[in-house]
Amino acid sequence: MTRVIADITVSLDGFVTGPNAGPTNGLGDGGEPLHTWVFDDDPVNRQLLSDGTARSGAVIMGRNLFDVVEGPEGWSDDIGYGAAEVGKPPFIVVTSSEPESVRLTNLDWTFVTTGLQDAIAVARRRAEEVSAARGADLDVVLMGGGELVGSAVMAGLVDMLSLHLSPMVLGSGTPLFTGGSPRTFVQRTVIVTPTATHLTYDLV
């Protein structure tokens, strides 16, 4: 069964980037330590990245994040989806307009201009196609940015929330949640490593 999973790294005070995030400053001012766990040599972190990349049948991102990974300092042959895993599932971008050109032509891009719900429907269809081809149940993963993930969670559009809690306080930046009605979660797993606490929740 294909699940929709929101997966993102967040600071102790709830920010997914520092201030002034943009195409050439993806994690914002002071935000680089958020992803220390992604690049360290801890075997548990390495396994979590590998497992997460392998389970991704399709990946959704917002236009701001697309501009970061597509930019000159973004993804490459060595660093991509899942960091050094460089996974290549279908990527679905939620955007108001398609880009005029794409640098990363070796990746499978689909641009959805009609909103997040339509993007999830497209991603679910693509993930089910990949699942059938591989003979395994794969998921749709919302990888960011913060506004897209936060709004999807608060709207009840995901089945599971996977948070990687970085042991730092940013003070300001891009918040994961910016309000909305209260929601209840069921905590499923907690995995602690030296550079992050990995938490998973089911949505009620």
**Residue 169: exposure state from Cβ atoms within 10 A (0-12, 13-18, ≥19):** exposed
Structure-derived torsion over alpha carbons of residues 58, 64, 68, 72, reported in degrees to the nearest 10: 120
Instruction: Count Cα atoms within 13 angstroms, Cβ side, for 189.
Output: 10
Give the tens place of pLDDT for each residue, 118-128: 999 999 999 99
Band the pLDDT of 204: cuts 50, 70, 90: confident
Over range 3-32, report the average pLDDT: 97
Contact between residue 148 and residue 60 where contact means Cβ atoms under 8 Å apart:
yes
Give the tens place of pLDDT for each residue, 42-73: 999 999 999 999 999 999 999 999 999 999 99
Output the pLDDT for position 1.
Answer: 82
Name the pairing type of β-strands 4-11 and 109-112. unpaired
115: pLDDT strictly greater than 90: yes
Domains of the chain with bracketed CATH: 4-18+41-203 (3.40.430.10)
**Tokens found for residue 152:** 């999807």
